[in-house]
Chains A and B, each alone.
Chain A
Amino acid sequence: MLTIAQTIVDAIVAHARLDHPDEACGVVAGPAGSDRPERFIPMVNAARSPTFYEFDSTDLLTLYREMDSLDEEPVVIYHSHTSTQAYPSRTDISYASEPHAHYVLVSTADEVDVEFRSFRIVDGEVTEEPVEIVTGEVE
């Protein structure tokens, strides 16, 4: 189960809409071991593509050093699909390399309705999980 604040869901969706038709991507960091997504960190999609995303390698290092210094980990790794459903593709699955993260997919294929779903991807296996959206902060 992913428990996440409404404000962060809104921020992720807004980022996806902003970068459409390119895929948007980013992280929500939280205290290591807490499973609480607290700090929203939109990233630049270095691929700038409607069908692929990748964090720039230098941005990635900066992000991980920063999370390390704050004793955080990437609780949510999110990206958008701009014309397909919010479900992990084969590429998403093969590159998923944070076994503890919640992989959030947002679809901006429809102009009005947005799909927001969360998955665990471990050892090549995808499991969808429920999303609990809370107002205020995650306890």
Chain B
Amino acid sequence: MAIEVSIPTILRTYTAGAKSVEATGATLGAVINDLEAQFPGIADRLVDAGSLRRFVNIYINDEDVRFLGGIDAEVADGDNVTVLPAVAGGA
């Protein structure tokens, strides 16, 4: 099952500069594990203690995975996963 994952600038240090990579997995969690196998260290930027990090946005086919079950969201062959760090800050 090939899933296309778009990688934001700040994470391209893990993918040797690639802005789009392929991964496999039936859930987002499985896809992240596959990404970690290919690009060690990347999972820690996305996941903390088993859940998706609060200030990293992940979308499956342009829908925020927060509405799709988070790390357990289902992913199918041909789906598009996009990772975008939140643009946020405070006083």
A49, A58, A84 interface centre (most CB from chain B within 10 Å): A58
Is there contact, CB below 8 Å, between B90 and A77? no
CA distance A97 to B55 in the complex (A): 10
Contact yes or no, A84 B55, CB < 8 A: no
Q: How far is the CA of A47 from the CA of B54 in the complex (A)?
A: 14
- Asked if residues A54 and B62 are in contact (CB atoms below 8 Å), the reply is no
- Contact pick for B57, options A23, A60, A99, CB 8 Å: A60
Binary CB contact string for chain A from 60 to 93 against chain B (1 if under 8 A, 0 otherwise): 1100110000000000010101111000110110
Contact partner of B88 (CB less than 8 A), chosen from A52, A65, A81, A100, is: A52
CB < 8 Å neighbour of B86 from A27, A51, A95: A95
Interface residues of A in 80-134 (CB under 8 A from B): 81-84, 88-89, 91-92, 95-100
* A-B interface contact total, Cβ < 8 Å: 77
Are A89 and B91 in touch, CB under 8 angstroms? yes
- Across the two chains, which residue of chain A brings its CB closest to B89? A92
| Range for the number of chain A residues in contact with chain B | 20 to 34
Contact of A61 among B55, B84, B88 (CB under 8 A): B84
Decide yes or no whether A4 CB sits under 8 A from chain B: no
B84 and A53 contact, CB distance less than 8 A: no
The answer for the CA separation of A43 and B87 in the assembled complex, in Å, is: 11
Of all chain B residues, which has the CB nearest A73?
A: B9
**Chain A residues in contact with chain B, CB under 8 A?**
23, 25, 27, 43, 47, 49-55, 57-58, 60-61, 64-65, 77, 79, 81-84, 88-89, 91-92, 95-100
